[in-house]
Amino acid sequence: MARLRLDHVSKRYGDFHAVRDVTLDVADGEFVVLLGPSGCGKTTTLRMIAGFITPTAGGVHLADREVTGLPPWKRNAGMVFQSYALFPHLSVAQNVAFGLEMRRLAKADITTRVAEALKLVRLDHLAGRLPRQLSGGQQQRVALARALAIRPDVLLLDEPLSNLDAKLRQEVRVEIRELQRQLGLTTVMVTHDQEEALTMADRLVVMNEGSVRQIGGQRDLYERPADRFVAGFVGRGMFLTGRVEAPGRFRTEGGLALACDGGASGPAVLALRPERLEIGPAPLSGLDNSLPGTVEFISYLGAASDVHVRLSPSDRVIVQVANRGGDAAPEIGATVHVGWPATAGRLFAPGGDPPSL
């Protein structure tokens, strides 16, 4: 059952398409993340669900009700703003009670539900404080409690973690996700942080320039990206340009002959992932591709190192090597062999705008 449904929704500002023909079904209790680079229309999409922006075309359905033309106060969408947008003149408890008072609940019910919501976010001891007397993380939890208290049909989160420091962000991430599971909340979150998106979502919607590029689970996006943009945006991608000479044979612009997985003859881009490549001092047997190259640069990342290897004057790849200690790491200037199975590469049509690595 679709709790939330976007039906060919578009938003135009003059000639500019902020959101273009977005169709999306969100099931009851599902956590969907809208992911994409800055300016791709994520916030606009979310605000159309909340009712702050009216779509220029298409329809929004929330809990089996068409809400496209309804103002925000007639929808039942709980929104957590990036800035939290707490009411500065009201205490924590009064902030949480606000939505319930608007729904004209009985005083006693309001008190219990405020206490419940504050308990969920573990802030019951700060109920009397004013927002300015709270830390950023606490304010964020008040905003969450305030949105949860109204028992929304859908919870909308616009980059809820972007104002928190890195460590807190990790914690709150888990916290929000657990709360969402426990309460069975249908949730749409917006982020441009792919790690955040990958760790939290049931399903991801990758957007670019106002359009949905691909909808799917983490594995779908990572293993089977629909296009070059998704391949570059989700996970790390490297792109070798060239052409497919015959199905299974790819020649780079630098002249390397590579084995690839199928493909139709013509210009193409071969996408590889650094963690799928292997590196060794001698030719790698058992792999479809094994090429000699020179180590040009190494960046040490702790758990792993990125080894940049030049394979031809115009082809360079990055190989991610796990740092296990003991085994001799490659050195800059050394000659190495890089290999991968044909199935590790994916072919895309050229063009588009791959974000460079």
Partner 1 sequence: MAIASTTTAPADTAAAARLIAAEERGGARLTAAMLVTPATILVAVGLLIPLVILFRYSLNEFVTQRKLMVEAVTIANYAKFFTDPYYINVLVRTLRVAVTVTAICLVLGFPLAYVLARTQSRFKNLLLMLVVLPLFVGSAVRAAGWMTLFGSKGAINATLMGLGLISTPLEIMYTETAVIIGITAVNLPFMVLSLQSVIENIGRDVEEAAFSLGAHPLAMFRRVLWPLALPGVLAGTILTFILGMNAYATPVLLGGPKFQMMGPLVYGQFAGVNNWPFGAAISFILMTATLLLTIAANLIVQRRYRR
Q: Which is nearer to ligand ATP, 210 or 339 (CB)?
A: 210
Closest CB 159 distance from Mg ion, rounded Å: 6
- 86 binds partner 1 per the rule CB under 8 A: yes
φ, ψ at 315 (rounded to 5°): -125, 120
Number of helices and strands (H, E) in the chain?
A: 8, 19
Closest CB 213 distance from ligand ATP, rounded Å: 13
Candidate residues 43, 45, 180, 186; the one interacting with Mg ion per rule CB under 5 A:
43
Identify the sign of the CA torsion 157, 162, 168, 174.
Answer: positive
- 71 binds partner 1 per the rule CB under 8 A: yes
Rounded Cα gap, residues 86 and 103, in angstroms:
18
- 118 binds partner 1 per the rule CB under 8 A: no
- 81 binds partner 1 per the rule CB under 8 A: yes
Site string for partner 1, 140-179 (x = CB under 8 A): ------xx--x-----------------------------
**3-class DSSP string for 199-223:** HHCCEEEEEECCEEEEEECHHHHHH
Rounded Cα gap, residues 323 and 305, in angstroms:
7
Rounded Cα gap, residues 310 and 262, in angstroms:
25
Rounded Cα gap, residues 120 and 301, in angstroms:
37
Closest CB 241 distance from partner 1, rounded Å: 43
Choose from Mg ion, ligand ATP, partner 1, none: what does 13 bind? Cβ within 5-8 Å by kind. ligand ATP
225, 249, 251, 233: which is closest to 348 by C-alpha?
Answer: 225
Q: Which is nearer to ligand ATP, 39 or 267 (CB)?
A: 39
Rounded Cα gap, residues 328 and 19, in angstroms:
51
Choose from Mg ion, ligand ATP, partner 1, none: what does 78 bind? Cβ within 5-8 Å by kind. partner 1
Q: Which is nearer to ligand ATP, 98 or 229 (CB)?
A: 229
Binding site for Mg ion (CB under 5 A): 43
Interface residues toward partner 1, by CB under 8 A: 50-52, 71-73, 75-79, 81, 83, 85-89, 91, 98-99, 102-103, 146-147, 150
